[in-house]
Amino acid sequence: MIRHAFYSLLFGALLAAAAGCNGKSSSTFAGAPVIDAATADGPEGNGRNITRLVTGLGSPSSLSVDSQYAYVAPADEGSNVMRVPLDGGPATLLASSPSPNSLTIDGANVYWTDDDPDGGSVLSIPKHGGTVTTLAGGLPDPGPIAVQDGTVYWANLGAGGQACDAGCAPSVASVATAGGAVSTLYTAPPSSFPDGIVAHGASVYLSTSDGRIVDIPDDGGAAKLLRYELTSNQGIAADDTYVYWVDTAGNVMKIPLAGGNATVLAYSQQAGSIAVDATGVYWSNGSAGTVMTVPSGGGTPSTLVYGLSYPSGIALGPSSVYWFNGQGELWVASPK
């Protein structure tokens, strides 16, 4: 992960005043980030209302949204897990974390991985704030995370840190949201760097840097290789019919859950993450400065928003689409 020293120092100074740097309970920011909550000039949304919700997030790495809040984990050393109201208002510091990587939510809690080089961990905190719980520790560089039906899933990237001193391989593991024993569901080849996971139905789906799309049963059964091409896959999403991802050429792809032929939904998109709902697949194209969508059944890709500054992550609400950029800004466009 790329670390930005400037943002680390900025956040460290701010959080020392706001939360005493203990990371054990939530507090409201005083002075950072900056809340805009107003229609922004510049980007165009083809008739949609575009709002910059917050600035000063450092270098965001992960985003999840529920009906009231966006939850963000900046990818900065000594950084934080934060909550931003969707209708504007002060940002809330939920927890300090040495090296937050990936974040997800369920109805009650926020879950994230921290890839501290001294030993990674999977952590949780109630959405309203409170005590941080360590669900798993001493992990080899934990990365992408997902949660479903009382179980947290994550990919161990298997590189660096004291947790790997004795040797390790990339893997996918799970633990109950209430804590307990950690289960290893899948061990990947050493060259297979996990990039994204998603839990859907009875499976966890994994995309990797060496071109694998893997169906991993959540009960620990034998994994199934859905696709293996010598490309670098990025991001992953799933619905009841397909798995979706972006390949190294920037093509937005899908393949049936049962396996079979892959289909290209959109060509030449610079996207690191994607999302899907009942009607479409969504992604941000960093090089073009756009937020895009295409029907999940196939069709012509549409531009939802253009004129953006290198948008990256993506998340969907009931009627809106959210994204962040490398300038530490969180945006929303409505309707999606």
Domains of the chain as residue ranges with CATH: 61-304 (2.120.10.30)
Token digits for 276? 């899907």
The pTM for the full model equals 0.86
pLDDT of residue 19: 36
Could you read off the pLDDT of 241-264 as tens digits, one per residue?
999 999 988 999 999 999 999 999
Across the range 325-332, mean pLDDT stands at 90
Most confident of 81-90, 199-208, 270-279: 199-208
Token digits for 76? 């900065």
- At residue 1, does pLDDT exceed 80? no
SS3 319: coil
- At residue 6, does pLDDT exceed 80? no
* CA atoms of 96 and 99, how far apart (whole Å): 9
Across the range 204-224, mean pLDDT stands at 95
- At residue 39, does pLDDT exceed 80? no
- At residue 274, does pLDDT exceed 70? yes
* CA atoms of 251 and 241, how far apart (whole Å): 19
> In sequence order, which ranges of the chain are alpha helices (DSSP H)?
5-19
Which pLDDT band holds residue 66 (cuts at 50, 70, 90)?
very high
Reduced DSSP (H G I as helix, E B as strand, rest coil) percent helix, strand, coil of the chain, to 5? 5, 50, 45
- At residue 189, does pLDDT exceed 60? yes
